[in-house]
Structure formats: C-alpha cells, structure tokens
C-alpha cells in the first residue's frame, strides 16, 4: 500500500511516519512537505534511508506536483500539512487560508481525478478498502466549552481563531467531496497533542525548554484555560485505526480524557524539572482565547476499539525526559540551525 503523508516533517506527521513504518510492513510512505519554519527533517533522522520511505519537498497547493506524486500509485492520503499555530494565525491569516483551505482542496481535487476509476470503494476488507483520504483536523473547530460538557461529532462548528476557522473550512470541503463526489474521505478531530519533536512554540515544549534554560514561562491570562492533552503516540494509533478501519464520510473525535488547566501543566513541568514556580510570568491573554476543550471519544472507542494508553502524568514525565535528553535537537530549533540539516542532506539552502 502506498501512503501519501503530507506535512510529515512536522510534529505529528513525523511521529506518524515513524509509527507506521514500525507497525505496518506492507506500507510505503511518500512524505510531501514544504518545510516551512515548522518542518524539520531532523524529526525523521534515521528514517531517510528506510527502503519504504521517500521524501519530496513541495507545497500541497502545487497541483502539478501533487498530480505527479499521485501518478506514482498513491492508495491513501493522511493530510497533516497545515499552518498549525493559533498565535501566528492572529498575526497573519493568509498562509492559513492558503495551505489549510486551498491546499486541502488541491489534494481533494487531485485525489478525485486520479482515483476516479477506483470509485466507489467496495467497503470493508483489505481488497476493497482503498483508496481513502484522511483529513487530520482538530477539536478547535468546535470552539470553546463552558465548565460542563464535552465535544461530540455532532457539536456545532464555532471556530474562534483564523487557524481553527481555516481547519473547519477544510473539514467541510472534505466532507462535501464525499457527499457530492463519493470521495472516500474521513475527518478526525483531535485534542492537544504533546510528545517528542514538538516545535517549541507550543505550550508544553516551550515551557520545558524555557525552564531548562531558566527563562521565564509566559502564561496567558489567568492560566485557567483547559486543554485535553493526548500523547502523540495515542493519536498516531487512532489515525492508523481510522486509516485501515474507519468508515468513509464519518468524523471521529480523538481525545485522551486528559483535561488540565494550563497552570496545572506548567506547575507539573516545573516540579518534574526541579525548577521554582517564580519562573512563571502572567502575560496578556491571547485574543479570542478558547476557555476549555474536552473531547468525548466514545465513537472511536465503540467503533474501532481505540483507547489512549498513556496517562497524562506518565506521558508528561516521559516527554520532559525526552527534551532533557535531546537538548541539541531543540537548541538547534530555537537557534534556527535546524534548517542546515536539509542543506546537508539535499544541498539546497532553506535560509
Ligand atoms: P506542525 O506545524 O508541527 O507541522 C506542520 C507540517 O506541515 C510542517 O512540517 C510544515 O512544513 C508542513 N507544511 C505546512 N504548509 C505546507 C504546505 N503548504 N505544503 C506541504 N507541507 C506544508 O503541525 P502538527 O502539530 O504536527 O499538526 C499536524 C496536523 O494535525 C495539522 O493539520 C494540525 O491542524 C492537526 N492537529 C494538531 C494538533 C496538535 O496538538 N499539534 C491537534 C489536533 C490536530
Ligand atoms: O486542540 C488542538 C490544537 O492544539 C491544535 O489544533 C493546534 O494545532 C495546536 O497548536 C493546539 O492549539 P492550542 O492553541 O491549544 O495550543 P498552544 O500550545 O498554542 O496553547 C495551549 C494553551 O496554552 C492555550 O490555552 C494557550 C496557552 N499558552 C500557550 C503558549 C504558547 C500559554 O499560556 N502560553 C504560551 O506561551
């Protein structure tokens, strides 16, 4: 089976590629990644020469390139490629609309064109399973919760940020291609991930690396916003199940029963690292800051038997340890040196 993974040099995409190469001997992976600031080929160090892996640097908005890749015989797509950071979308929404919306549309169009002969899919069972297109989305499309309740797949879409609005637009496009054209699309909506190789602009790696450098830890507002944390490996396993067994046309929520306030997370990190709480700095709140996310994952548990394996306490401790052990990785990210890895491998400059 030939799997196109887009955005595979980012945090979740690189973890997913490592995971799928390890668990699925019948799967070959093509990684298409533009290598924006968030794409880092060091996340895939050691995988470059794997016989079932290849990398193409390019943009999912480039229809010609995407068609060329599909002509290599792509059986399935997992679309991770996106601008993913809420704060950046507040500064400038343009790349978010371009990649998250138009890029997804290009992938859907090319999939339609190249898979025409193979549609409709025959349904479950290995022979009739593919092609399939998995759109990796986010719980942020549902907007903000009050103190009670959890997001189900039926919750209304009420995105708050330009990032989440662009992801909601992409979800709706993907589902519309299923409804109108019969394209076998599945949408997943996951809560906040954490784990190895996460870019240190996001809460957990930023706080760990700042604490390791005895730098201030900026907490937005009162620090009482709640996120529902999921270890990235649990997300990868959920995506594998959806890819091989999910029902086309469906949405699956993925969440780890891991609700914590930001302050709880930051304090836990400081404790694990033996650093003082005096490093915490309360700073201005994020505009439009969603108060609480919480996922009801009962559909994916019921239909596909998925359950998170990592508790937040154990997963966070392992993640803190990973950042402690992999200091050169995040120091190169913070200094910008990580871009030289691509130059070393492919001879072209990213700077
Ligand atoms: P990331 O920012 O770490 O990685 C994104 C990757 O996409 C990078 O490698 C980047 O180079 C690549 N990319 C960006 N624009 C591209 C383009 N036009 N063409 C090709 N490649 C491009 O993101 P992440 O945290 O790994 O998130 C991956 C996906 O999962 C995103 O779609 C995001 O919306 C979704 N998601 C993330 C989380 C989370 O907590 N991180 C939770 C739920 C869903
Ligand atoms: O819920 C899934 C989403 O989780 C994904 O779709 C996004 O791609 C991913 O970036 C993440 O979005 P958040 O905005 O929730 O993640 P972030 O790490 O930016 O922030 C988590 C919480 O921490 C949020 O309440 C804002 C707060 N925060 C964040 C940063 C970077 C701080 O208090 N200080 C900070 O410096």
User: What's the average model confidence in pLDDT over 174-193?
Assistant: 97
Q: What is the pLDDT of residue 108?
A: 98
Peptide linkage before 120 cis (omega within 30 of 0): yes
SS3 38: coil
* Secondary structure, 3-state, 302-326: HHHCCCCCCCHHHHHHHHHHHHHHC
- Among the listed ranges 189-203, 248-262, 333-347, which one has the minimum average pLDDT value? 333-347
Cα–chain center distance at 67: 23
Q: Across-strand partners of 259?
A: 228
Cα–chain center distance at 43: 14
- Compute the distance from residue 83 Cα to the ligand 1 centre, in Å: 6
What residues contact 158, with CB distance under 8 A and at least 6 apart? 142, 143, 144
**What band does 163 get if pLDDT is binned at 50, 70 and 90?**
very high
What residues contact 203, with CB distance under 8 A and at least 6 apart? 192, 227, 262, 265, 266
- Contact (CB, 8 A) for 202 and 85: yes
Query: pLDDT tens digit string along 25-40?
Result: 999 999 999 999 999 9
Which residues form the catalytic set? 139-140, 163
- Compute the distance from residue 284 Cα to the ligand 2 centre, in Å: 14
- Compute the distance from residue 36 Cα to the ligand 1 centre, in Å: 10
- Compute the distance from residue 41 Cα to the ligand 2 centre, in Å: 23
Say how far apart CA 337 and CA 319 lie, in whole Å.
Answer: 22
Say how far apart CA 10 and CA 12 lie, in whole Å.
Answer: 6
End-to-end CA distance of the chain: give it in Å, rounded: 35
Q: What is the pLDDT of residue 341?
A: 82
> Which helix (DSSP H) or strand (DSSP E) does residue 54 occupy?
strand 53-57
Predicted TM-score (pTM) of this structure: 0.97
Best residue among 4, 6, 7 to mutate for probing ligand 1, ranked by most atoms within 8 Å of CB: 7
Q: How much of the chain, in percent, has pLDDT values that exceed 70? A: 98
Q: What is the pLDDT of residue 121?
A: 74
User: What's the average model confidence in pLDDT over 288-303?
Assistant: 98
Nearest CA, atom 30, ligand 2: 203
- Compute the distance from residue 41 Cα to the ligand 1 centre, in Å: 14
Say how far apart CA 197 and CA 112 lie, in whole Å.
Answer: 33
Q: What is the pLDDT of residue 295?
A: 98
Question: Higher pLDDT residue, 351 or 135?
Answer: 135
**What band does 191 get if pLDDT is binned at 50, 70 and 90?**
very high
**Is the confidence at residue 200, as pLDDT, over 70?**
yes
Query: pLDDT tens digit string along 56-84?
Result: 999 999 999 999 999 999 999 999 999 99
Measured from the alpha carbon of residue 215, the closest ligand is 2
Measured from the alpha carbon of residue 89, the closest ligand is 2
Q: Ligand 1: list residues with CB < 6 Å.
A: 6-7, 9-13, 32-36, 38-39, 59-61, 80-82, 84, 99, 103, 136, 138, 167, 190, 192-193, 199
Q: How much of the chain, in percent, has pLDDT values that exceed 90? A: 91
Name the one residue in this structure whose structure tokens are 């709140």.
285
**Is the confidence at residue 343, as pLDDT, over 90?**
no
| DSSP structural state of residue 336 | T
Measured from the alpha carbon of residue 199, the closest ligand is 1
User: What's the average model confidence in pLDDT over 313-339?
Assistant: 96
Query: pLDDT tens digit string along 209-239?
Result: 999 999 999 999 999 999 999 999 999 999 9
Report the CATH architecture of 2-197+230-259+295-311: 3-Layer(aba) Sandwich (3.40)
Q: Ligand 2: list residues with CB < 6 Å.
A: 84-86, 138-140, 191-192, 202-203, 206, 218-220, 225, 227, 262, 286, 293
Burial string for 316-329 (b: 16+ CB within 10 Å, else e) reads beebbebbeeeeeb
**Is the confidence at residue 351, as pLDDT, over 90?**
no
CA 259 vs CA 91, 167, 271, 349: distances in Å = 28, 22, 19, 41
Query: pLDDT tens digit string along 96-132?
Result: 999 999 999 999 999 999 999 988 776 655 556 899 9
Say how far apart CA 168 and CA 203 lie, in whole Å.
Answer: 22
Burial of 179 (0-12, 13-18, 19+ CB in 10 A): exposed
Q: Which atom of ligand 2 is nearest to the CA of 286?
A: 26
């Amino acid at each position: 089976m030939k799997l196109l993974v887009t955005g595979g040099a980012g945090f979740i995409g690189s973890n997913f590629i490592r995971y799928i190469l390890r668990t699925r001997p019948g799967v070959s992976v093509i990684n298409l990644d533009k290598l924006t600031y968030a794409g880092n080929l060091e996340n895939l160090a050691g995988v470059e020469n794997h016989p079932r892996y290849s990398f193409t640097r390019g943009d999912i908005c480039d229809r010609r390139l995407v068609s060329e890749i599909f002509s290599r015989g792509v059986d399935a797509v997992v679309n991770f490629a996106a601008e993913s950071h809420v704060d950046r979308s507040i500064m400038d929404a343009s790349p978010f609309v371009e990649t998250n919306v138009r890029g997804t549309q290009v992938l859907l169009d090319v999939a339609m064109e190249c898979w025409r002969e193979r549609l409709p899919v025959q349904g479950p069972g290995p022979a009739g399973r593919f092609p399939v297109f998995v759109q990796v989305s986010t719980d942020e499309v549902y907007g903000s919760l009050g103190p009670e309740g959890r997001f189900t797949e039926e919750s209304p879409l009420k995105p708050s940020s330009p990032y989440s609005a662009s992801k909601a637009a992409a979800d709706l496009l993907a589902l519309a291609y299923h409804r109108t054209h019969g394209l076998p699309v599945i949408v997943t909506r996951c809560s906040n991930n954490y784990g190895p190789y996460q870019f240190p602009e996001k809460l957990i790696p930023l706080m760990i690396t700042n604490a390791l450098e005895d730098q201030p830890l900026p907490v937005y507002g009162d620090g009482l916003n709640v996120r529902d944390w999921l270890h990235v490996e649990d997300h990868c396993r959920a995506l594998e199940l959806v890819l091989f067994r999910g029902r086309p046309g469906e949405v699956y929520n993925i969440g780890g029963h891991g609700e914590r306030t930001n302050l709880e997370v930051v304090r836990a990190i400081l404790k694990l690292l033996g650093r003082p709480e005096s490093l915490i700095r309360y700073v201005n709140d994020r505009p439009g800051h969603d108060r609480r996310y919480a996922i009801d994952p009962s559909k994916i548990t019921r239909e596909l038997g998925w359950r998170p394996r990592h508790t937040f306490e154990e997963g966070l401790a392992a993640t803190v340890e990973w950042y402690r052990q992999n200091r050169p990785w995040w120091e190169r990210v913070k200094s910008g040196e990580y871009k030289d890895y691509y130059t070393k491998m492919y001879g072209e400059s990213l700077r």
